[in-house]
Amino acid sequence: MNNRGLKFILSYLKEHKTKLIIISFSIIVYTLTKLIGPFLMGYIIDNYITIPNVDGLLRWVIILFCVYAISSLAGWFQNYVNADVAAQTVNKIRTDLFNKIETLSLRFFDSTPHGELLSRFTNDIDNIGITLSNSIIELTSNLIQLVGVLIFMLVLNVKLALITLIATPFLAIIVTFLIKRTRRLYGEQQGKLGDLNAYIEEEISGLKVVKAYGLENEVIRRFHEKNKSFKDTAIKAQFTSYLMIPLMNGLSNVTLVLIIVSGSMLTLKGDASIGLIVTFINFARLFFQPINQMSNLYNQLGLAFTGAERVMDILKEEPDIKNTPNAKEIDVLNGYVNMKDVSFSYNDEKTILKRINIEAFKGEKIAIVGPTGSGKTTIINLLNRFYDTKEGEIYFDDLKIKDINFYSLRKRIGIVLQNTILFSGTIKENLLFGKEDATDDEIEIACIKANIHDYIISLPKGYDTEITSDSNVFSKGQKQLLSIARTILSNPDILILDEATSNVDMITEQKLQEAMNTMMEGRTSFVIAHRLKTIINSDKIVVIKDGKVVEEGTHKDLLSLKGFYNELYQNQFSSLKGIVNE
């Protein structure tokens, strides 16, 4: 059995000690009353059926009925209380997992597929929930029943008890072998399921690209490969686990035949009564029943404990980015930013930034330009401290970035990304991500500045319009305007605009530019731009190539250098001129 997974689940169950005691007491009552039944049956047969006694028979049948009624009531009650414990435990595990994921650094998500994480939330936690709801109670009840039956059998007749135990070593060998193999196969099965979920999530996200390149058949082929790999492993796991049932049933049936033959011989000799043999046959069935059920339970327990271990692996992850014990909380930034000799790599194989130096003073607009893959977005990631520098330092005012509480730092930085994310909820609720306690007037002012207010109030429900994953309330450009409004509402000291005007038409771009100009007034701003015409009025333009700063200065200064920036600008200008002439 997976000890790590078991210990993980038990660590959560400790919070429900009182309820677990109640459940345990109910299990004992349920199991003992279940065991008393066969003993009473034998007693009734010997004393009231073999020797007819209707009055006594009726009385003892009523007693037997009451025993089984108590057993059923105890069984219902233990399941009722256990359902509550299981629901609360699963809720706590899921909450802890979500909270942990929210604290992890981006580097973790760079190496972990989203589908794999979703598999932890769905399949793994669901398997834990199923086990807590059913399997643990059944396992405990079966263990108590097994011990109780064995004691009763030894008390009733040692010879018949020993005959029953003959099959036990063979059962132990079979179960041990199959358990080891099943555990390994179930681990492989869940790993392949995570891979499959990750692939599905990836392909759904990139569906437009797949269709644009006509790759449907190739994507389907790869899906079938991964799905078949999962199916084959699942079949092997199920086949191995299901071998337990027929093998164990076969051994238990052979044992029952031996008990019937031996018991009949004892009865003929006068060494045992018919009631005793009937009782013993019932006890023999009750002896093998928990063994059979526990072998079946192991399948579910294996899934649950493997799932628990996979969840535990995430909970044990530590974020790369941590606040130092003396990290300073900041309420405001004056606007001075200095990246000094900064080098960075996402892994040890390739250095993305090489001794970068960028200095920005309060209120300056700093544009960062360069070809794709030059390291522009990496600079933005470092300024937000999504990653730590490999070498060099980043300063905000007179503080090193690592000496600032990164939660408070990010609250003072506003960021507008190329791909705007809107969350499920109303337009107003999305805007409140910028400022949780913003008034309606503050929200409207921010949207007016972002040139999106008129469109919002034109909607039937205005700011209370619901946004869902499949809704088309906003175009791409309007989403960017809403993101700008959200950023304005947060009133940041420093702004970061990452390709905020890319992939929109010229009219929308003009609206975005106007909104961004309003937002950038008086704030230190870093602008990553592909369209160079949008940044020609910047106070400073930093040109990045192959992870290095190759040029910097104003637009006019850089053009006069006739260098790399001039080449980029002329190429764009020529392309634009060609489009206009067409």
Q: What percent of the chain has pLDDT over 90?
A: 23
3 state DSSP class of 426: strand
Pair (144, 7) in one structural domain: yes
Beta bridge partners of 356: 342
Q: Please state the φ and ψ torsions of residue 62, each to the nearest 5 degrees.
A: -65, -40
Q: Which of 280, 315, 350 is the last residue of a domain?
A: 315
Does the pLDDT value for residue 241 go beyond 90?
no
Here the CATH number for the domain that contains residue 365 is 3.40.50.300
Query: How many domains are there within the chain?
Result: 2
In a domain, 225, yes or no: no
Residue 373 to residue 548: CA distance in whole angstroms? 12
Here the CATH number for the domain that contains residue 17 is 1.20.1560.10
Residue 48 to residue 237: CA distance in whole angstroms? 51
Does the pLDDT value for residue 576 go beyond 70?
no
* Residue, of 68 and 468, whose pLDDT is higher: 68
Q: For position 579, what pLDDT does the model report?
A: 39
Q: Which domain holds residue 371?
A: 337-581
Q: For position 296, what pLDDT does the model report?
A: 66
The mean pLDDT of the chain is 84
Which stretch of DSSP H or E encloses residue 543?
strand 540-545
Q: For position 501, what pLDDT does the model report?
A: 64
Identify the CA nearest to 498 among candidates 335, 396, 369, 401: 369
Which stretch of DSSP H or E encloses residue 391?
strand 391-396
In a domain, 329, yes or no: no
Pair (117, 259) in one structural domain: yes
Q: For position 578, what pLDDT does the model report?
A: 45
Question: Do residues 233 and 181 lie in contact, with contact meaning Cβ atoms separated by under 8 Å?
Answer: no
Tokens standing for residue 326: 């003396």
Pair (418, 294) in one structural domain: no
In a domain, 281, yes or no: yes
In a domain, 17, yes or no: yes
Residue 128 to residue 300: CA distance in whole angstroms? 9
Identify the CA nearest to 492 among candidates 412, 433, 406, 415: 412
Q: Across the chain, which distance is largest between two alpha carbons, in Å? A: 120
Cβ neighbors of 205 (< 8 A, separation 6 or more) are none
In a domain, 396, yes or no: yes
Beta bridge partners of 510: none
What does the DSSP assignment read for 69-127?
HHHHHHHHHHHHHHHHHHHHHHHHHHHHHHHHHHHS-HHHHHHS-HHHHHHIIIIIHHH
In a domain, 204, yes or no: no
Pair (400, 304) in one structural domain: no
Q: Return the residue matching tokens 């604290």.
A: 103
* Residue, of 2 and 411, whose pLDDT is higher: 411
Residue 397 to residue 405: CA distance in whole angstroms? 14
Residue 170 to residue 310: CA distance in whole angstroms? 33
Q: How confident is the model at residue 580 (pLDDT cuts 50, 70, 90)?
A: very low
In a domain, 178, yes or no: yes
Cβ neighbors of 490 (< 8 A, separation 6 or more) are 411, 414, 434, 435
Pair (160, 23) in one structural domain: yes
What does the DSSP assignment read for 293-353?
HHHHHHHHHHHHHHHHHHHHHHHT---S----TTPBP-S---S-EEEEEEEE-SSSS--SE
Q: How confident is the model at residue 582 (pLDDT cuts 50, 70, 90)?
A: very low
Lowest mean pLDDT among 111-120, 211-220, 370-379, 398-407: 211-220
Q: For position 195, what pLDDT does the model report?
A: 82
Residue 420 to residue 431: CA distance in whole angstroms? 13
Pair (162, 289) in one structural domain: yes
Which stretch of DSSP H or E encloses residue 457?
helix 453-458
* Residue, of 561 and 245, whose pLDDT is higher: 561
pLDDT digits (tens, 9 = 90+) for 296-328: 677 677 778 888 888 998 899 888 888 988 999
